[in-house]
């Protein structure tokens, strides 16, 4: 567009500007990768679709290896790196490690290896829980691997004035993966895990695994409405939004609002579970499903 010297007549300048073609900024459309050991990260994807519905998503579930929480640190780190490298190779502009266990064990190395794109992880909401607790007693329900990680220990060390009642949720993830989030079996197992937290008098409970927001109904049934439930999915997606907005490159994806479900085991089941567990209306999005057996 040609320039015009408007120093002498603001009226002429305005008239000239009105004759120029309007430059409309194209929408910022990113391809966002989201990965978890299974369906837990759907809680993060659900929130992402609420805040950022116009973007495109690849959801990768490593269901054949779920759950991660009982595997070795080395295995988790290597597998998480492999999956993130795969998502980067698919052209993702940002990657969400939607797994607390993978975040605790691998995210530092992933960020170092894939330094050219934003990598957003999820951590138990320890700090907001400490702020919301009235009596300073906070329960933390998470996987064994998360609770034993150095990253989690370092986080607790920053809040010495709060009592944290740590409880591994062994067996819960396989039940959620099997579509049994609200079954009697899940309710009984959950009651066992929550008993020490309840007996300690905790008034706040951290959902320290992305699978656990799908247990909200069961937790409320057992503990009532008075306990604070801390789920960091909203804050995690806000962080993703900030990262995308700060990128200087202009993304040029023609599609808008597409979702591709990739599973290492059963993509159709993953798609079905997404419709069962998520609150977002998936019919508003273009959906694909794919099984991938090798990510190298």
What is the pLDDT at residue 212?
Answer: 98
What is the pLDDT at residue 253?
Answer: 59
Question: For residues 61 and 262, what is the distance between their CA atoms, to the nearest angstrom?
Answer: 6
In a domain, 261, yes or no: yes
On whether both 91 and 174 belong to a single domain, the answer is: no
Is 68 annotated as contributing to ligand binding?
A: yes
Q: Tens-of-pLDDT digits for all 296 residues of the chain?
A: 445 555 555 556 556 545 655 444 445 689 999 999 999 999 999 999 999 999 999 999 999 999 998 899 999 999 999 999 999 999 999 999 999 999 999 999 999 999 999 999 999 999 999 999 999 999 999 999 999 999 999 999 999 999 999 999 999 999 999 999 999 999 999 999 999 999 999 999 999 999 999 999 999 999 999 999 999 999 999 999 999 988 755 555 567 899 999 999 999 999 999 999 999 999 999 999 999 988 97
What is the pLDDT at residue 25?
Answer: 44
In a domain, 132, yes or no: yes
- 80, 272 in Cβ contact below 8 A? no
What is the pLDDT at residue 1?
Answer: 47
On whether both 45 and 116 belong to a single domain, the answer is: yes
Could you tell me how far CA 31 lies from the centroid of its own chain? 15
Cα-based torsion angle of the residue sequence 28, 31, 32, 35 in order, rounded to the nearest 10 degrees: 170
On whether both 212 and 239 belong to a single domain, the answer is: no
Task: List, in sequence order, the alpha helices (H) in the chain.
Answer: 10-18, 42-51, 73-89, 100-113, 126-132, 144-148, 150-157, 172-177, 184-199, 216-223, 233-246, 267-277
Is 211 annotated as contributing to ligand binding?
A: yes
On whether both 109 and 244 belong to a single domain, the answer is: yes
On whether both 227 and 149 belong to a single domain, the answer is: yes
| Domain limits for position 130 | 126-231
Q: Tokens 């640190």 identify what position?
A: 73
On whether both 243 and 221 belong to a single domain, the answer is: no
The token duo for 129 is 């829980």
In a domain, 68, yes or no: yes
On whether both 38 and 161 belong to a single domain, the answer is: no
- 264, 251 in Cβ contact below 8 A? no
Is 36 annotated as contributing to ligand binding?
A: yes
Question: For residues 198 and 250, what is the distance between their CA atoms, to the nearest angstrom?
Answer: 50
Give me the CATH number covering residue 42: 3.40.50.1860
Catalytic residues: 99, 209
Q: Which of 243, 241, 238, 250 is nearest to 25 (CA)?
A: 250
On whether both 196 and 149 belong to a single domain, the answer is: yes
Is 38 annotated as contributing to ligand binding?
A: no
What is the pLDDT at residue 246?
Answer: 85
In a domain, 63, yes or no: yes
Is 232 annotated as contributing to ligand binding?
A: no
On whether both 226 and 243 belong to a single domain, the answer is: no
């Amino acid at each position: 567009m040609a320039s015009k010297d408007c120093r002498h007549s603001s009226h002429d300048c305005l008239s000239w500007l009105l004759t120029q073609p309007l430059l409309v900024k194209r929408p910022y459309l990113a391809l966002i990768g989201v990965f978890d050991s299974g369906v837990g990260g759907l809680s993060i994807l659900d929130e992402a679709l609420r805040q950022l519905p116009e973007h495109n998503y690849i959801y990768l579930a490593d269901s054949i290896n779920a759950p991660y929480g009982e595997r070795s640190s080395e295995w988790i780190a290597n597998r998480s790196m492999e999956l993130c490298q795969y998502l980067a190779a698919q052209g993702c502009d940002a990657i969400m490690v939607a797994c607390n266990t993978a975040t605790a064990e691998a995210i530092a190395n992933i960020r170092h290896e894939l330094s050219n794109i934003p990598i957003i992880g999820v951590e138990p909401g320890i700090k907001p829980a400490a702020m919301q607790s009235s009596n300073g007693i906070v329960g933390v329900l998470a996987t064994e691997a998360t609770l034993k990680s150095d990253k989690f220990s370092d986080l607790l060390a920053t809040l010495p004035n709060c009592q944290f009642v740590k409880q591994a949720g062994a067996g819960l993830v396989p039940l959620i993966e099997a579509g049994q989030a609200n079954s009697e079996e899940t309710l009984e197992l959950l009651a066992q895990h929550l008993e020490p937290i309840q007996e300690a008098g905790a008034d706040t409970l951290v959902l320290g695994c992305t699978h656990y927001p799908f247990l909200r109904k069961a937790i409320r049934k057992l503990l009532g409405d008075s306990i604070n439930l801390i789920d960091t999915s909203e804050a995690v997606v806000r962080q993703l939004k900030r990262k995308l907005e700060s990128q200087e490159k202009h993304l040029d994806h023609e599609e808008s609002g597409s979702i591709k479900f990739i599973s290492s085991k059963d993509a159709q089941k993953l798609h079905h579970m997404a419709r069962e567990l998520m609150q977002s209306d998936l019919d508003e999005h273009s959906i694909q499903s794919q099984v991938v057996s090798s990510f190298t």
